[in-house]
């Protein structure tokens, strides 16, 4: 067993180590959602980025296909995309595991040290993070089934390779219920990002008395930008701006 493997194993055995795992995997997640949000805005096409493309559909479909051809000819079709997916899947699994493990430790400590547990304001965010994280995990599975796997019954007319069609039809289906769901879930994501980003800075030891306020503002800005960026798309479809 290599020294790196032993080091990683020991990292999982301590509370600090698992918090570091949560912070690093959370950083990967933050990077992904920012990139994903930016990509989603391409559904507006020339309305946002000039008239290079004839229609927003052409712009968005080209973007979606570029994700699969990126790196060619050095890498094969979708190779880099699958590498990114595997990194993200690993990060999600480790993030969920670390969160659950830390919750179990905290729950056991309370059970042995306290006869009465009071929910103070200080632990509201951590309670909400567990609930919100569970909601987001369920939503992530639905999102994949909706727009990546195109499971019949969840998406009524999924056509592989036609990202714009799949997005618009998927949001409009069943009386715009998916679009409303996406719009409602984004504030949950925003709060999770805010508290998670702020906690990440604390765990990695980046904040001190000089940087506390700037980092808190940065966490707030990231959460607001991502929330607004994501919510623009379902609202634009609901109101017929994108169709």
Decide if 154 contacts 146 (C-beta within 8 A). yes
Domains and CATH numbers, the chain: 3-238 (1.20.1300)
DSSP 8-state secondary structure symbol assigned to residue 144? I
d(CA 180, CA 136): 15
DSSP secondary structure letters along the chain? --HHHHHHHHHHTSHHHHHHHHHHHHHHHHHHHHHHHHHHGGGGTHHHH-SSSSSHHHHHHHHHHHHHHTTTTTS-TTHHHHHHHHHHHHHHHHHHHHHHHHHHHHHHHHHHH-SS----GGGHHHHHHHHHHHHHHHHHHHHIIIIIS--TTTSTT--TT-HHHHHHHHHHHHHHHHHHHHHHHHHHHHHHHHHHHHHHHHHTT---TTTHHHHHHHHHHHHHHHHHHHHHHHHHHHTTS--
Kindly state the average pLDDT of the residues 176-204: 91
Rounded Cα gap, residues 239 and 242, in angstroms: 8
| The model's pTM | 0.86
Structure tokens that stand for 122 in this block? 């200080």
Q: Does residue 151 surpass a pLDDT of 70?
A: yes
pLDDT at residue 4 greater than cutoff 60: no
Q: What is the pLDDT of residue 115?
A: 47
Query: Which residue reads 């990440």 in tokens?
Result: 200
Mean pLDDT value across the chain:
86
In the DSSP assignment, the letter for residue 77 is: T
- pLDDT tens for 91-121 read 999 999 998 888 887 766 655 555 444 555 5
């Amino acid at each position: 067993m290599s020294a790196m493997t032993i080091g990683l194993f020991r990292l999982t055995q301590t509370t600090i180590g698992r918090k570091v795992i949560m912070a690093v995997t959370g950083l990967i997640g933050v990077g992904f959602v920012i990139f994903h949000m930016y990509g989603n805005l391409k559904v507006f096409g020339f309305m946002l980025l000039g008239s290079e493309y004839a229609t927003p559909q052409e712009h968005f479909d080209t973007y979606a296909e570029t994700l699969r051809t990126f790196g060619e000819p050095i890498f094969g079709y979708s190779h880099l995309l699958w590498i990114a997916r595997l990194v993200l899947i690993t990060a999600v699994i480790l993030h969920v595991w670390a969160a659950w493990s830390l919750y179990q430790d905290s729950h056991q400590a309370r059970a042995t040290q306290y006869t009465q547990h009071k929910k103070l304001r200080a632990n509201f965010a951590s309670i909400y993070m567990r609930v919100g994280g569970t909601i987001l995990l369920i939503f992530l599975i639905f999102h994949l089934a909706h727009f990546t796997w195109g499971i019949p019954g969840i998406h009524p007319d999924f056509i592989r390779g036609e990202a714009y069609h799949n997005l618009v039809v998927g949001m409009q289906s069943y009386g715009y219920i998916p679009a409303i769901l996406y719009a409602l879930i984004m504030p949950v994501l925003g709060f999770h990002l805010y508290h998670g980003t702020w906690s990440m800075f604390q765990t990695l030891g980046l904040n001190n008395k000089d940087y506390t306020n700037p980092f808190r503002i940065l966490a707030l800005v990231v959460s607001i930008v991502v929330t607004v960026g994501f919510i623009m798309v379902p609202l634009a479809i609901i109101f017929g701006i994108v169709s």
